[in-house]
Amino acid sequence: MHQPLLAHSGHIAQVQGIQVGHHTDPRRPTGCSVVLCPAGTVGGVDVRGAAPGTRETDLLHPSNLVQEVHGIVLAGGSAWGLDSATGAVRWLEAQGAGLPIGVGRIPLVPAAVLFDVMLGDMTVRPDAAAGYAACQAASSDRPAEGSVGAGAGAVVGKVFGWQRAMKGGIGTASVTVHGVTVGALVACNALGDVYNPFNGALIAGARTADGNALLNTRDALLRGEEAQPILAGSNTTIGVVATDAILTKAQAHRLAVTAHDGLARTINPVHTLSDGDTLFALGTGHTGKTLGMMTLSTMAAEAVAIATARAVLLAQSVSVPGQAPLPSWQDWQRQTPA
């Protein structure tokens, strides 16, 4: 049923100039992911969820002065995970990257975090050393997906309680048209359920009370079933959309806005009061081409939708001492008779 998604071969590092690295903490399910971009890359952001955790997003507004960024960090650890961006800044400075200020350079690295501190010891979270390590690991190879980096502790389908949720993760995808590529890297820690964007099939999310089947949160809410009390900010889907097309800063902002259409096709409910959904957009300009915003926006939404679904399809179950195991889609596939 989900074979086209699993067979998708595109990834964000196919965007010319983009490199991606993960750091996954071995002590508990958490980590961070970095997207590094070449000099001259313009950036944008659209924060759609009502409970975001972000850093340096104001500088991306089209009306503000600075025109380029040098990387993006996605991390677990909630607000503490923002410290991982400091490590990325240090690594970039060591490479001679950053905004020249006469006496040196200042790397500009916006960041967004997701809430994963319910899994294990919350004092273990991504720090500056983790961000530095993710940069050291960055390359243009296909990034690892599933329960790694910023997706290591991601969980989806929490509307009716954590005990009925499933494992989320991080995924990537890309689309190429006329030699221009748009790619996405998405860490899915959504409050809602996740669907196949091609056929609408429910992939993962809230389970029934016995834990043996998917509930379908949308239908349950429309039947009048009451959601569990939800801690604000404990859910979020965060990601990066990048293209090697030429973009202005205003166009990068618009690309981030329209990329959220991909989340809306894959997650339901999405952009809730308890989610901090945030998407960044990057334009490296390395192809020397542009396709027009209609085509680029369509490509961005497609890449985000596929990457979001892959984040869940490739996730692995997690067991933390003292807590109920969180199954993954892969677990259920293994349990289903051929």
Instruction: Tell me: pLDDT of 99 over 50.
Output: yes
| Token pair recorded at residue 119 | 């899994």
pLDDT in tens, 175-219: 999 999 999 999 999 999 999 999 999 999 999 998 889 999 999
% of the chain residues with pLDDT over 70:
98
In the predicted model, what is the mean pLDDT of residues 61-72? 92
141-145: long-range pairs with CB below 8 Å, 24+: 141/13, 142/11, 142/13, 142/172, 143/11, 143/12, 143/13, 143/20, 143/21, 143/22, 143/33, 143/170, 143/172, 143/185, 144/22, 145/169, 145/170, 145/171, 145/172, 145/310, 145/311, 145/314
The pLDDT score that the predictor gives to residue 106 is: 94
The pLDDT score that the predictor gives to residue 303 is: 98
With cut-offs at 50, 70 and 90, classify the pLDDT of residue 232: low
3-335: what CATH class? alpha beta
The pLDDT score that the predictor gives to residue 337 is: 47
Q: List the domain boundaries for the chain.
A: 3-335
With cut-offs at 50, 70 and 90, classify the pLDDT of residue 324: confident
What angle (nearest 5°) sits at the alpha carbon of residue 84, between those of residues 83 and 90? 100
pTM of the predicted model, to two decimals?
0.96
The pLDDT score that the predictor gives to residue 338 is: 42
The pLDDT score that the predictor gives to residue 333 is: 78
Residue from 15, 243, 272, 49 nearest 158 by CA: 272
The pLDDT score that the predictor gives to residue 314 is: 97
In the predicted model, what is the mean pLDDT of residues 144-156? 97
In the predicted model, what is the mean pLDDT of residues 150-173? 94
In the predicted model, what is the mean pLDDT of residues 245-271? 96
Rounded (10°) CA dihedral 318, 196, 259, 311: 20
